[in-house]
Amino acid sequence: MSKEIMSNGEYHSKKDYLSASGLKKFAVSPAHYKHYIEQPVEETAALIFGSAVHALIEQNLTGEPVFDKEFFILNELDHFTEEELLQPNFRRKKEYQTWKKSTESDIRKPVDESVKFIVDKLFKSTFVKNTLLNMDNAECEPSYFLDYQLQFIDNPGEVKLRTRPDYINHELKYIVDYKTMRDEPTDDNCMKEIRYRYYWLQAALYTLIVN
């Protein structure tokens, strides 16, 4: 196993290594996996939102401007009053359209202010700030690579694996992976997400590679 410090883009460019995302596609079919490694990933609104939350958490933990480099909060209330925004057809007016157009010159991705609300609420927790995501002997988003020997009796071989934990505490030996979800985070809804999105597979890969 080897560990490297690299950007998120560099990590995802290593297509010859199989990641949790690739394994999830392979679980559907080999054709899905082939399409995944050959075609660029579509940037859906949900993907951008989740990436922004991840980046803002990391920025809070490390002080590095990982969020500010790629995203910005698009907050209408910083520029208009609530009364204006509630007016019928206000967003069609010239003053609103002029402001909206000015934001398009920013090469970063605009995200809703709810991203900041979620992260601010997370770090209001003393347990999260001082214990769960304590940065003593911990780090964010290290990249791990493993040439794993397959133990098939008739046809032994090797598969290249990679993983990139959101947070890892080396002293207490645990990993935290941030997840956003649409529904209320009840126990039942969380278990459904874990099963449906193959998060259990991702946890297994963390254990295999990092251990």
d(CA 157, CA 27): 20
Residue with tokens 């559907």: 28
pLDDT of residue 80: 77
d(CA 58, CA 177): 12
pLDDT of residue 152: 67
Is residue 48 classed exposed, middle or buried when 0-12, 13-18 and 19+ CB atoms within 10 A define those classes?
middle
pLDDT of residue 139: 93
- Residues with Cβ within 8 Å of residue 210, at least 6 apart in sequence: 1, 144, 163, 165, 168, 175
pLDDT of residue 153: 61
Cα–Cα distances in angstroms (integers) from residue 107 to residues 4, 53, 81, 132, in the given order: 28, 18, 26, 34
Query: Is residue 41 a contact partner of residue 15, using CB atoms and an 8 Å limit?
Result: no
Per-residue confidence of the chain (211 residues) as pLDDT tens digits? 899 888 888 998 898 899 999 988 988 899 998 998 888 878 888 888 999 999 999 999 999 999 999 998 877 667 777 777 678 887 788 887 887 777 776 678 888 888 999 999 999 999 998 889 999 999 999 999 999 887 766 777 888 999 999 999 999 899 999 998 888 889 999 999 999 989 999 999 999 998 7
Beta-bridged to residue 176, according to DSSP, are 167
Is residue 180 classed exposed, middle or buried when 0-12, 13-18 and 19+ CB atoms within 10 A define those classes?
middle
- Residue 75 CB coordination number (10 Å): 13
